[in-house]
Structure 1
Amino acid sequence: MIRISSQQIFANGISRLQDLNSNLASTQEQISTGKRVNKPSDDPVAAARILKLDQELTRISTYERNVDLADNRLSQEENALASSIDVLQRIRELTVQAGNAALSVNDRISISSEIEERLGQLANIGNTRDASGEYIFSGFQGSVQAFQQNDEGQYVYMGDEGQRVLEIDDGVTVPISDNGKGIFVNIPAAATGEYTNNVSGGFISGVSVVNEADLNAAYSGSFPDDITITVDGAGNIQAQDTQGNALAVSPAVYESGEPFVVAGVEATISDITPGAGDSFTLKINERQSVFGTIENLISGLSSLDKGTPEGLAAYNDLIAQSLVNLDNAQESILLKQTEVGGRMNAVDSTRDFLADSSLYTSEIRSQLQDVDYAEAISNLSFQSFVLEAAQLSFAQVSQLSLFDRL
């Protein structure tokens, strides 16, 4: 015979009520939070998976912020580059206009004044800042103004050659900046000619590359270098590179004011005495800042005298070389703009990938964590009914005693 004491009855009853009340409270918590797993003990396996999924969503969220930052920086750079191309196009139009032989001195000064305004506008674009106040074209020196005027009033680059990159996914980085030196400064310059030794008081003009293939062939694939020109006593034009190698000239006989071609480069020499010792240098691989090109153009429009043959030749060279340099600058900026556009496409693709990953991960987490409200409410009703029944039963049992039988 098993004897059950009143204390056991009360203890078992209270324990059962506590279990039922705990289950009811757990269901109520699920309904109020919308989560099936609110603590690890609710479902240890699911809780561990949910923790990993939360970490994955945090990682994705961090990269999505980086994607937004990269997109903003690249969009700002693209807009700045597009604006600079517009400015250079206007300067080019003014340069073509300045080449009109019918213009007066005042007309040239007026054109020069507008070009000077456009130069300041281009400098402002080169000194564009991002939302945090950093100069986007200064490389790693974001706090340093990219283009500043020196004591002579010329714009010089003050940043470095760094390029910032940002990680937008695991193992995926994208450059989010470009230094101004590579865009606005290291630009191929038009071929020019200058006196190395001036004996006769003549001048060289009309220097331009007319055949790229011949130029490259003359140097057998090596980097083209400067060309030295002299005229011997017999009136033959002699040309050689900096290594002393002779280059063919056509026509080979000097005639004042008539063009000749050497290694695909055309030039004209005027007013010299053959054999007097005059020498010239054809510079065919120089680099020039777009700001320097515009500054030289402004200066030349205001100062060059077209009243003499030499002044007229210098003025015509200024216009021709400026147009070539402006075209090269536009091409340099356009190439960078295309490159930036490619980066933006990569950023957009990564954004789409991260959004898909986030959606997929969220769906899996939802399946593990989110509560089924219909099932939870049904359980809550059933648990409430069982708890009430248990409470009534316990109340009746707790009233029984031996005195009730006497």
Structure 2
Amino acid sequence: MRVSTIQTFNNGVNNMKRVSGLAAETQNQISTGKKFLTPSDDPVAATRILQLNQELVLRDQYKKNITSVTNRLSLEESVLNGVSDVLQKIRELSVQAGDGSLTPEDRGFLAQEVSTRLEEMLGLLNSRDANGEYIFAGYRGNTQPFVDGGGGGYRFQGDEGERLVQIGATTWVSSRDSGKQIFEDIPAFNKTFVTSNNPRNTAIPPGSVSVGRVIDQAVFDEFHPDDAYIVFEPPDAIEPAGANFTVRRMSDNRVIDGLQNERFVSGDAIQFAGIQVRISGNPDVGDSFMIESSSRQSVLTTLGRFAEGLNTIDGSPEGREQIEALVGQTIENLDSAQTSILEARSKIGSRLNTLESTLA
């Protein structure tokens, strides 16, 4: 078969274009340092390259996450060390308070020191991280976790969430701990209680109930696990008319220890079922205050009760017995708090080790 001149010419042109294209492609590969310029050059290799690029991006993100979590846990560990130091100082004050030669005035000075340490503790528990979020608030990082509840008590308004951060393809690490578990849910040495204002109270400014304390453990143990509430009655329930209250069981509304329509004096001690609390302010009729049995005691409550006891227990023989009991309970509860903090620090150490080994 004869090949026409035009066909020969076209074949030559096509070969020149192909060679020119290959030369241009080679030049682009040299100038860019890349073997494949488009996925169509090698689809299989292009897919693998895409996977590798994605893995590199993830690896960089994991490194950033590891650095962020490491910094945050290191800060939390530092704060917990500070809390532990404060607890140790309070323990030393507790031992001093047990000195039988101290006068009520001497114990009042110790109470001032305890109150100062309590404020220091509160500041630590409300610490923030580099992003301005509260360390111990759980998921509610923008909400201050520990706030004044009135009467020397404090409320926890964070949650129990623990944020998990991915640091590897199959590895996640908690970047924070809830303050509820570390500082609130501490096993108490003895059966105890917590106090609170009913959120439906109407007095403005609101009345407040103190953290209170157990003054007769045996009597309170018999009452436990029942709860109680103090409710304010109409003024004309007593003669002459005036503010008055009744103490009732939560379970069946029975009056406790005959405390019905008792005249109210702001700040005076109210004693029943082996415990003592104080209500301050001018509550409205119908306002109530809760006393709930518990087997746990927050570290702030331990400090608050210690300060209140030092300030209010007199120098009588009975008062000295109460001081002895208060000191013993305080020391035991401080030791429980230290144990809780030690456990939290141990968990942080384990997580830091995981972060370090993952980064290596």
TM class, shorter-length: 0.5 to 0.7
Alignment of 1:269-348 (within 5 A): 286-306=295-315, 308-348=316-356
Question: Aligned residue for 1:73?
Answer: 72
Alignment of 1:1-400 (within 5 A): 2=2, 5=5, 11-191=10-190, 227-228=221-222, 286-306=295-315, 308-352=316-360
- Which secondary structure state, in structure 2, belongs to the residue aligned with residue 59 of structure 1? helix
- Which secondary structure state, in structure 1, belongs to the residue aligned with residue 136 of structure 2? coil
- Which secondary structure state, in structure 2, belongs to the residue aligned with residue 286 of structure 1? strand
Deviations 1:194-218 (A, max 9, x none): 9xxxxxxxx977x79xxxxxxxxxx
Kept after mapping to 2: 8 A contact 1:193/1:204 = no
Displacement, 1:133? Answer: 2.1
Displacement, 1:312? Answer: 0.6
Kept after mapping to 2: 8 A contact 1:129/1:135 = yes
Inter-partner Cα distance in structure 1 for 2:192 and 2:115: 26
- Which secondary structure state, in structure 2, belongs to the residue aligned with residue 191 of structure 1? strand
Instruction: Give the number of the structure whose residues are more often helix, by fraction.
Output: 1
Displacement, 1:3? Answer: 5.9
Kept after mapping to 2: 8 A contact 1:188/1:285 = no
Kept after mapping to 1: 8 A contact 2:299/2:334 = yes
Q: Count residues with an aligned counterpart.
A: 278
Deviates more, 1:165-174 or 1:330-339: 165-174
TM-score normalised by structure 1 residue count: 0.60
What is the one-letter code of the residue matched to 1:23? L
C-alpha RMSD over aligned residues: 3.4
Deviates more, 1:24-33 or 1:322-331: 24-33
TM-score normalised by structure 2 residue count: 0.67
Deviations 1:327-354 (A, max 9, x none): 11111111111112112222323333xx
- Which secondary structure state, in structure 1, belongs to the residue aligned with residue 173 of structure 2? strand
Kept after mapping to 1: 8 A contact 2:107/2:311 = yes
Instruction: Give unpaired runs (5+ residues) of structure 2.
Output: 194-213, 226-272, 276-292
Inter-partner Cα distance in structure 2 for 1:204 and 1:143: 39
Deviations 1:284-326 (A, max 9, x none): 97311110111111122222212x1101111111111111111
Displacement, 1:24? Answer: 2.8
- Which secondary structure state, in structure 1, belongs to the residue aligned with residue 167 of structure 2? strand
Deviations 1:205-235 (A, max 9, x none): 7x79xxxxxxxxxxxxxxxxx8549xxxxxx
Deviations 1:125-158 (A, max 9, x none): 1112223322221122222110000232422111
CA gap of 1:135–1:331, structure 2 versus 1, over 3 A, is same
Deviates more, 1:146-155 or 1:168-177: 168-177
Inter-partner Cα distance in structure 2 for 1:124 and 1:43: 61
Inter-partner Cα distance in structure 2 for 1:145 and 1:323: 28
- Which secondary structure state, in structure 1, belongs to the residue aligned with residue 91 of structure 2? helix
Inter-partner Cα distance in structure 2 for 1:171 and 1:51: 21
Inter-partner Cα distance in structure 2 for 1:191 and 1:44: 72
- Which secondary structure state, in structure 1, belongs to the residue aligned with residue 189 of structure 2? coil
Deviations 1:90-135 (A, max 9, x none): 1112222222334455543333222222211111111122233222
Please tell me whether Structure 1 or Structure 2 has the larger radius of gyration of its CA atoms.
1
CA gap of 1:10–1:300, structure 2 versus 1, over 3 A, is same
Kept after mapping to 2: 8 A contact 1:190/1:325 = yes
Instruction: Give unpaired runs (5+ residues) of structure 1.
Output: 195-202, 209-225, 230-240, 243-278, 353-406
Structure with bigger RCO (C-alpha 8 Å, 6+ apart): 1
CA gap of 1:303–1:133, structure 2 versus 1, over 3 A, is same
